[in-house]
Amino acid sequence: MKVSIYRYNPETDREPYMQEYEVDTQGKDLMVLDVLALVKEQDPTLAYRRSCREGVCGSDGMNMNGKNGLACVTALSIVAPGVLEGKKALVIRPLPGLPVIRDLVVDMTMFYNQYEKVQPYLINDTPAPAIERLQSPEEREKLDGLYECILCACCSTSCPSFWWNPEKFLGPAALLQGYRFLADSRDTARDDRLSRLDDPFSLFRCRGIMNCVSVCPKGLNPTRAIGHIRDMLLERAI
């Protein structure tokens, strides 16, 4: 099968280019990450990130035939139907909107900066009890669909608002984590957290396009979390 991969080495290349490879999967419907491993056997200069190879670490987010996802859990037949029959090529690019360090490796600094801004940790200024801070099963349930995020950046880098204003719009991943702590019954910084989000950019740049929802490999719904935060902000303002 044909594979077309974005290549860029800032030390030697003036500009990025697409390189074509021919890979034999022996007819098997492999995951994209396995195909990359086969390519790397042919061409050890290809650079990409991966670690767990089972959708847990979040390091191999990339753009496959136009859609962001984790290469290790994305099957060829899903991302590029017909690629095994030679009807089309598998096209792999780095996550859009972030600076490329080399080939498929992007600089995630902007993404992590936005994550840091939502203070992604429990804040509680009441005296610590002798045992854990307890939650009822219902309170704990509110964190479902939020805590599972692996920070792969597939969502934020598919969001046009994040592309245009990556320094000011927090992006779906950071906002989902922001809501994870706003929704936590043990957190006492709710008002402070909300005050950091009510400017016209941080949250309100979300235009509800739901690209983030359609790409999240963990099946999470940042748009809904953003809606919940917006409701909290409106409630507080009125």
List the x/- string, 191-220, binding to ligand FES by CB under 6 A.
------------------------------
Residue ranges in 176-195 that form contacts with ligand SF4 under rule CB under 6 A? 176
Residue 178 touches which member of ligand FES, ligand SF4, another protein, none, C-beta under 5-8 Å by kind: none
Among the listed residues 80, 110, 154, 189, the single contact to ligand SF4 using CB under 6 A:
154
**One-letter identity of residue 45:** T
Residue 18 or 234 having the CB closest to ligand SF4: 234
Which has the closest alpha carbon to 154: 75, 70, 28? Answer: 70
Residue 13 or 199 having the CB closest to another protein: 199
What is the distance between the alpha carbons of residues 198 and 178, in angstroms, rounded to a whole number?
A: 13
User: E strand or H helix at 173, and its extent?
Assistant: helix 171-182
**DSSP string covering 83-100, please?**
TTTTSS-EEEEPPTTS-E
Tokens 């805590």 found at:
147
CB atoms within 10 A of CB 14: 7
List the x/- string, 61-100, binding to ligand FES by CB under 6 A.
---------x-x----------------------------
**Can you name the residues that pair with 119 across neighbouring β-strands?**
none
Pull the structure tokens for residue 202. Answer: 């941080």
Among the listed residues 152, 183, 194, 203, the single contact to ligand SF4 using CB under 6 A:
152
Residues forming contacts to another protein in the complex (CB under 8 A) are: 160-161, 164-165, 167-168, 197-205, 230, 233-234, 237
Residue 51 touches which member of ligand FES, ligand SF4, another protein, none, C-beta under 5-8 Å by kind: ligand FES
Residue 172 touches which member of ligand FES, ligand SF4, another protein, none, C-beta under 5-8 Å by kind: ligand SF4
Among the listed residues 149, 183, 189, 197, the single contact to ligand SF4 using CB under 6 A:
149
Is the distance from CB of 97 to CB of 165 less than 8 angstroms?
Answer: no
Tokens 């890979």 found at:
23
Residue ranges in 49-68 that form contacts with ligand FES under rule CB under 6 A? 50-53, 55-60
Tokens 């290349």 found at:
13
Pull the structure tokens for residue 22. Answer: 């021919």
What is the distance between the alpha carbons of residues 175 and 71, in angstroms, rounded to a whole number?
A: 24
Is the distance from CB of 194 to CB of 202 less than 8 angstroms?
Answer: no
| Contacting positions for ligand SF4 (CB under 6 A) | 149-155, 159, 161, 172-173, 176, 206-212, 216, 218, 220, 222-223, 226
| Contacting positions for ligand FES (CB under 6 A) | 50-53, 55-60, 70, 72
